Amino acid sequence: MAEASLKKAVYEQLARIGKAVASPPRLELLDLLCQGPRTVEGLAREAGLSVANTSQHLQILHAARLVEARKEGLFVTYRLADQQVCEFYRTLRTLAESRLAEIEAIVRMFNSGRESLEPVEKQALLERVRRAEVIVLDVRPPEEYRAAHIPGAVSIPLKELKAHLSMLPRGREIVAYCRGPYCVLAVEAVKLLCAKGFRAVRMDYGVPEWRAEGWPVTGGEDPR
């Protein structure tokens, strides 16, 4: 009767969100959208999906009200429906990290030991970044930097890093960051910089993590 259908209806609604995050490509799209708004084409390119496929996945995310679409000229720009969606994605990631040992194993395999900082070291690094005591380098694509970045950060997308090394000082320490803990852009950047004789380390925080700590970010006019 009434109770049973109430219950059923509510769980069906919750499952709409669940279904939205039940697919690896959709999670990747969400991850990208946490960096800032993007067109369908941009998302498709970044995630390595076909445009049609990307469009369909975005529609599923839209049906779950996790993202919004806005037509701007010839392009459709998708963005998170709410900052809360990013928080939810991060909660999901945190849960996965602590429950699924596989994730740590995957990351460890990739990092091959070099990258892992002690928690204490990491806190000290964050603090120095926050106080702008080091050169902070944002190696994400320019539109993501434009959408939001850590205050004081310099933007040199990884692709252009090799060509713009002269923009960086040799004496001071460089801290590179990208999208977050699972993004490899900053790892690559540090590898390159160190090879060229710079003093560089990676910070595994991205803008979402930075923001989640309550620290301010720059950019993202977001003119609704």
Partner DNA sequence: CGATTATTCAAGTGTTCGATTGATTAATGG
Partner DNA sequence: CCATTAATCAATCGAACACTTGAATAATCG
Start-end of H helices in the chain: 2-20, 24-35, 40-47, 51-63, 83-99, 101-111, 119-130, 142-147, 158-161, 185-195, 207-212
Residues 169/146, Cβ–Cβ less than 8 Å: no
- Provide the mask over 113-152, with x wherever binding to a copy of itself is found by CB under 8 A and - wherever it is not: ----------------------------------------
Assess 56 for contact with DNA (CB under 7 A): yes
What are the strands of the beta sheet with 75-80, ordered from one edge?
38-39, 75-80, 67-72
21: closest CA among 35, 8, 33, 6?
33
Nearer to a copy of itself, 182 or 215 (CB): 182
Let me know if 178 is a catalytic residue. yes
Assess 58 for contact with DNA (CB under 7 A): yes
- Residues 162-191 contacting a copy of itself, CB under 8 A: 182, 184
Assess 61 for contact with DNA (CB under 7 A): no
CB of 62 to a copy of itself, least distance (A): 11
The active-site residue out of 34, 86, 178, 194 is 178
Assess 10 for contact with DNA (CB under 7 A): no
The Cα 20–Cα 114 span in angstroms is 35
Size of the site for DNA (CB under 7 A): 26
Assess 49 for contact with DNA (CB under 7 A): yes
Assess 15 for contact with a copy of itself (CB under 8 A): yes
Assess 19 for contact with a copy of itself (CB under 8 A): yes
78: closest CA among 37, 124, 120, 43?
37
Neighbouring residues of 187: CB distance < 8 A, sequence distance ≥ 6: 111, 115, 202
CB of 224 to a copy of itself, least distance (A): 17
The Cα 164–Cα 92 span in angstroms is 37
CB of 11 to DNA, least distance (A): 10
Site residues for DNA per CB under 7 A: 19, 22-25, 39-41, 49-53, 55-60, 69, 71, 73-77
